[in-house]
Amino acid sequence: MSTAILAVFVFVYLGMILGGLPFLQLDRTGIALLGAIALIAMEAVSLEEAWAAVHVPTLILLFAFMVISAQLRLGGFYTFVTQRLTALPLSPPALLALLIVVVAALSAVFSNDIVCLAVAPVLIDACRERRLDPVPYLLALACSANIGSAATLIGNPQNMLIGERLELSFPGYLREAALPVVAGLVITWAVIVLATRRRWERAVPGAYSNERRVEAYTTFNRWQAVKGLSVAAFLFAAFLFTPWPRELLALGGAGLLLMSRRLHSRHMLGLVDWQLLVLFVGLFVVNHALEKTGLPAELVAALAREGIDLRSPMPLFFTTFVLSNLVSNVPAVMLLLPLASHPMAGTLLALASTLAGNLLIVGSIANIIVVEAAARHGIVIDWRRHARVGVPVTLLSLACAGATLAWWGRAWA
């Protein structure tokens, strides 16, 4: 049975690496779900075990913040903020700096993927209207969304998982992550400014009608935006200052927003990323089955005998970085969580897996969203153009994170 479980695991994680499988119309979510179904069908995992393997508090927290983000999208909040920001009479470098700060702040509270999805098209049109090359600003959007989401335990799915599974302190993590995140944002601005070489204005192919674009945007509704922001502010304060369960607080906030006289629940729930929730469920089951075999523990013990202890901070840091770029950050974190025994392991996993996402376009969903939005507007951001910014930003921000974690490690010692 162990051989069959290992085969399913390899099948699933090969799919995570490739993003799909040849000759089959399956994405990462479909592959993870198919793997879980196969394990249950071959009775490697019972239905009761499969349900027990799913960490429900993480799914609840994810779902709740998807509903809150849906409220803000339907209220036109992200469009409103982007339009106001890009209308300010700032120089191109100053506009870039403000964009980075605002996007990072939004991504620290709301999903970085949602922020990129909502901001990218508006940003492109605003840049064209100001005769600015959109590419530096789009790269800043992707990088700052990823880095900003590392600031809190609710900024992205992997941080939610880490925070819930390891029961991390919300203010404690915020304190530990603050310096690497701020350093990463400064690095992002500096790298993009240097890469741009003062060539901010550039004709971009693809005619467009600004009036048509604006009409396509969600109309700003002050009341709906205030409702979403009020709930988010209350939750953030509660996470900081109370020991109450985060997932229950967030679920209550989501339920409050669903009780609306104007926004239909069908539209709210239609913006929930059900694919991501199913991906989590599938990977929970697959990873649990592999852990049952004892093979991961044997591999970790064998590496430790060779002098490579994956439970130690430095090996775990580098392993997280490599795996996050191979299989994506959520599967990597799920795989490495059983090794998180060091006091700094939670912060280490969250920072390394999130910052690693800037390395290549496929490193995070946020990058893919931005690149695809650019392509729909006739703007090509290939892997070389992205790498000229993504690689230095990733390596320098990870170096800052590593130095900060080492300092915190000495404080823990």
pLDDT at 303: 87
**Can you give the pTM of this predicted structure?**
0.89
61 pLDDT exceeds 70? yes
User: Residue 104: pLDDT band by 50, 70, 90 thresholds?
Assistant: very high
411 pLDDT exceeds 50? no
Percent of the chain having pLDDT more than 70? 95
What's the mean pLDDT in 90-117? 93
User: How many Cβ atoms are within 10 Å of 18's Cβ, its own excluded?
Assistant: 13
55 and 284 Cβ atoms separated by less than 8 Å: yes
In sequence order, the 6+-apart residues with CB closer than 8 A to the CB of 241 are: 171
Torsion-angle region of 261 (φ positive above 0: left; ψ -120 to 50: alpha; else: beta): alpha
CA 221 vs CA 72, 102, 214, 365: distances in Å: 9, 20, 15, 28
Residue 24 pairs with which residues in a beta bridge?
A: 21
What's the mean pLDDT in 79-94? 93
CA angle 148–149–150, rounded 5-degree value: 90
pLDDT at 217: 66
What's the mean pLDDT in 247-267? 91
Per residue in 349-376, is it b (16+ CB within 10 Å) or e — as a string?
A: bbbbbbbbbbbbbbbbbbbbbbbebbee
Residues composing the chain: 413
pLDDT digits (tens, 9 = 90+) for 195-231: 998 788 775 555 444 444 554 567 888 999 999 999 9
284 pLDDT exceeds 90? yes
pLDDT at 263: 84
> How many Å is the maximal CA-CA distance in the chain?
66
Per mean pLDDT, which range of 76-80, 167-171, 259-263 is the poorest?
A: 259-263
Rg (alpha carbons) of the chain, rounded to whole number: 21
What's the mean pLDDT in 363-383? 89
Percent of the chain having pLDDT more than 90? 64
| Mean pLDDT, rounded, of the chain | 89
Measured in whole angstroms, how far is the alpha carbon of residue 138 from the centre of its chain? Answer: 16
What's the mean pLDDT in 287-315? 89
What's the mean pLDDT in 15-32? 85
Per-residue DSSP letters for 23-57?
Answer: TB---HHHHHHHHHHHHHHTTSS-HHHHHHHS-HH
How far is it, in rounded angstroms, from Cα 162 to Cα 372? 29
74 pLDDT exceeds 50? yes
pLDDT at 213: 52
pLDDT digits (tens, 9 = 90+) for 315-369: 999 999 999 988 888 889 999 999 998 888 999 999 999 999 999 887 888 898 9
- Closest to 15 (Cα-Cα) out of 326, 319, 364: 326
pLDDT at 211: 46
pLDDT at 383: 87
410 pLDDT exceeds 70? no
